[in-house]
Structure 1
C-alpha cells in the first residue's frame, strides 16, 4: 500500500492519461472505412502518426473500447519474462505443459519464446507466466500502464479470459514505447522482443506484428497489432474485429495490411496470414 501522497500522484496520472486520450486528435480515414465495409466486418483500425501526434483510422469509439488482449499480450509477457529472468533468452527451450491435443499441433514441438511467438503457442506463454508469478506480473503490468492493469487471481488466463483489457489506442501507445525502447525495462529485453515480433522486412523498412483471438476457436475479438519502421520513423498500429469463428481469422491480417497500404505505410502487397490465436 502506498502513502497518501503516492496514491494521489497515481490517481492524478490516471486522470491525466484519460484526459489526454479524449483530447488526442483523430482523423477518420474513408479509405480504411471502405475496406471494413467491403469485408462486412465490425471493427476498428488505428495508427499513431508520431510526427503530428494524430490518430488515424476507422471507428474511434471502438478504438477507445477495451477488450481482452488475447495473444497480443505475448509481446508484454515475453518482455516481462526476459526482464525478470524467468527465461534466459528467446532461444531457451521451455517445456510444453499443455494439452496433448492442442489447438495447433505445432505447439508440441520443443521451442523457446521466438518459435512460440511465431506460432502463438499459448501453453508455453502460460508456463512463462507461471515462472513470473502473480505478484511480479501484476507489478510489471502496472509499470507498463498496460490497459486496465487488472490481472485477477489466475496468472495463466487473465489475458485470455479477463480481467485484463486494453483498447486499440492503448495498444499503439504501448507498441510505440517498445519500438523506441523507452519502456521501464532493460533495453536488451526490449530489443529481443522487437526482434522476435518482426514478421517481414524490405529495403529500409520492417513490419512487426502479432495476432490475437479472444475465445478461440469460437466467436470473439480478433486482433492484429504492431508497428512499421522506416529508418527512424515508427508507425504503431492496432486492429480489432468482431469474429464469428475460424472463417474470420484471416481477415485480421488482411484488413490490417490493406489499411496500412491505403495510408501509404506498408509498401508490400497483402499475403495470406498463418492462422494463429
Structure 2
C-alpha cells in the first residue's frame, strides 16, 4: 500500500495523475453527520482534470445501483427498440403502488422523472436477458450481473456499481463515448435534466435500495456550465433508516456542491 501511494504521488508530481484526496473532509463530513449516515462523494472537474473526494476509500466499493440504473436501462431500451422514444406511452396495469405518480399510464420522460419502477421493469423484460447481458458488458456498466431476475436485478439482484464507475459512465455518456447511437444518448441526456438555470444545467438521477443490512441512496449526475463540466456521485448508506433517508442523498449532494462552489444552493431551493 505504501509503495502504491508513493507511486501515485510521484505520478502526480510529474503531471501524469491529477487527484485531490479528501481536501475538505471535516468540512464536508458535517452534511453526512447531519443525516446520521455514512457515504462518499466524488466530484470530477473536467476542465482542470481534477478529482475531489469525500471518503475516497469508499469510492471503489460496489453498491446496488437501484434507480440510477434507469440511465443505462433507458439507453439499452432505446437502442434495442424496446421503446420507440421518450414519448411512447406504456399502459398502467391498474395495480395500486405506494407512489401516486406510478398509478397511471406513463412515458419514459415521466417515468424517469418519477422513478416509476414498473415502467422500467417492463422495459427490461422487453429487452430480455440475452440482450441485457450483451449491452451491460458492451457499455462496461458495473459488474454486469443480472442475477435476481430480468425485472429486478438492479433492485434486489446481483448488479453492483462503484461510485467511481458511476463517474466513468457519466463521463462517457456526456462525451458520446458509450456504445449507443447519438440519438439514444441525446434522448437520455434530455430526460436527465433535473435543473436548468442561466448559469448551469444539472442532469441527474436518484436511486434508493437495500443491500444486505444496508439501505443505500444515490444521487449521481453532471453539471454543464458555459465552459466546464462537473461530474458527481453521492452514495450514502445506513443500517438505521430514518424517515428522510430517501431525500438525504439529494440534500447532501446539493449542500456539498454548494460548499465546493459548483452550484448555488439557492437556485436549487427556488
The reply to whether TM is greater than 0.5 is: yes
- Residue 63 (str. 1) matches residue 63 (str. 2): no
* 1:85 alignment partner, one of 78, 81, 85: 81
- Residue 170 (str. 1) matches residue 156 (str. 2): no
SS of alignment partner, residue 248 of structure 2? helix
- Tell me how far 1:114 sits from its aligned partner: 0.3
| Alignment TM-score, normalising by the size of structure 1 | 0.84
1:114 matched residue in structure 2: 109
Moved more, 82-91 or 50-59: 50-59
**1:160 and 1:153, CA in 2 relative to 1: closer, same or farther beyond 3 A?**
closer
- Tell me how far 1:210 sits from its aligned partner: 0.8
Matches within 5 A, 1:84-103: 84-97=80-93, 100-103=95-98
* 1:158 alignment partner, one of 146, 153, 159: 153
Asked if the contact 2:148/2:157 (under 8 Å) is kept, the reply is no
Pairs aligned (count): 249
Deviations 1:174-217 (A, max 9, x none): 0111122221100111010010010111114100111100139x
- Tell me how far 1:271 sits from its aligned partner: 4.8
Asked if the contact 1:257/1:270 (under 8 Å) is kept, the reply is no
Asked if the contact 1:70/1:160 (under 8 Å) is kept, the reply is yes
SS of alignment partner, residue 176 of structure 2? coil
SS of alignment partner, residue 236 of structure 2? strand
1:260 matched residue in structure 2: 257
1:27 matched residue in structure 2: 21
1:146 matched residue in structure 2: 141
**1:138 and 1:232, CA in 2 relative to 1: closer, same or farther beyond 3 A?**
farther
Asked if the contact 2:65/2:159 (under 8 Å) is kept, the reply is yes
RMSD, aligned α-carbons: 2.2
Q: Which whole-Å CA distance do the structure 2 matches of 1:163 and 1:233 have between them? A: 35
5+ residue gaps, structure 1, are 1-22, 273-277
* 1:50 alignment partner, one of 27, 43, 46: 46
Structure 1 stretches of 4+ with a deviation exceeding 6 A read none
Moved more, 27-36 or 145-154: 27-36
Moved more, 166-175 or 30-39: 30-39
